[in-house]
A and B are shown apart, each in its own frame.
Chain A
């Protein structure tokens, strides 16, 4: 396998760029990020791409691999390769391309802020810790959604984001859901207002692309459904 070649098409340039082909040596357990790194280090040092941890923690290496948004450091070439033995690697969809495989993530993180994705508790550092037992039902729902690494795979996979640029997207809504379920947080009503309506949870079509592609097996769709319930209840209670 060490002498086999892998044909890799890599996006070059900005929005109006094109794919460029490279031959990369195959190795056992080779990841897509390994292939990209080989190209940059051995074939073309001008290739722009992002990575940091290489172990699926930082969320910085997500790209579109053979048309599917993936975390490239934990995606083996063997599982991503096409029937013709080729791989195409492009930047994430739904985000402006800066150059080659690097996207501008600002709108993605700005939407986390718009969704009130910051925890605000009521206690100070001089108070005791608030105890929330592991069996707590709200805590269990947070546990199911909290491991997001901010890779934007869900945002790239979401059709609603491509149709409605104002839509907050799965990751920001998932973050808001974890805070709404957090009994220590104090901004629930404000957050429900931020995530309601056309730009928020009510635009989700439940296509479940985010859930299908999330590398951390989170289901933002479930969180968004929860937000729809909470927002509706808030409206009926007259607090929205």
Chain B
């Protein structure tokens, strides 16, 4: 991986961290607010199903996680296990796809 790509990863991780800071705050605040008087799963689903706003919000959340977590894990693997190079990057791409797949499956699960 050349230095341009490595710099791009660094920027992507910082940018996704900023997005995540906002998303996590909104997610937690919404959960605390929504269940304060008791709320069933059916009632939650009635609010999220067909809601384009929540679909967009959680899609952005999943995208940010998909970028952020594997890039951070890349540094951990590089520095703590000494695992570097193409094979490590392929593994992390696969992890990113797994996170995106599982995350979007959950998002679509409450949207559709």
Contact = CB atoms under 8 A, between A and B. Distances in A.
Interface of A: 160, 163-164, 193, 196-198, 200, 202-203, 228, 231-232, 235, 240
B80 A231 contact: no
Contacts of A202: 6-7, 10
A240 B4 contact: yes
B7 A240 contact: yes
Contact of A198 (B4, B6, B8): B6
Interface in B82-96: 84
In the complex, the 3 A-B pairs of residues with the closest C-beta atoms, listed nearest first: A197-B6, A197-B3, A163-B79
Contact of A235 (B11, B78, B84): B11
B78 A198 contact: yes
A193 B6 CA distance: 11
A232 B11 contact: yes
Interface string B1-29: 11110111011000000000000000000
A224 to B, nearest CB: 12
A189 to B, nearest CB: 12
A196 B6 contact: yes
Contacts of B75: 203
B60 to A, nearest CB: 22
Contacts of A198: 1, 6, 78, 84
B10 A228 contact: yes
A228 B14 CA distance: 11
Give the contact-size bracket for chain B.
10 to 19
Nearest to A167: B79
7 contacts: A196-B3, A196-B7, A198-B84, A200-B3, A202-B7, A203-B75, A235-B11
B79 A197 contact: no
A240 B3 CA distance: 8
- Which residue, of B1, B10, B78, B80, has the highest number of chain A Cβ atoms within 10 A? B10
A235 B84 CA distance: 23
A235 B6 contact: no
Interface string B63-89: 000000000000100111000100000
A163 B6 CA distance: 18
A164 B78 contact: yes
A231 B11 CA distance: 10
A228 B79 CA distance: 19
Contacts of A160: 79
Contacts of A240: 3-4, 7
A231 B8 CA distance: 10
Nearest to A234: B7
Contacts of A193: 3
Contacts of A200: 3
A235 B8 contact: yes
Given A198-B84, A202-B7, 13 more contacts: A160-B79, A164-B78, A193-B3, A196-B4, A197-B2, A197-B7, A198-B6, A198-B78, A200-B3, A232-B7, A232-B10, A240-B3, A240-B4
A231 to B, nearest CB: 6
A58 to B, nearest CB: 33
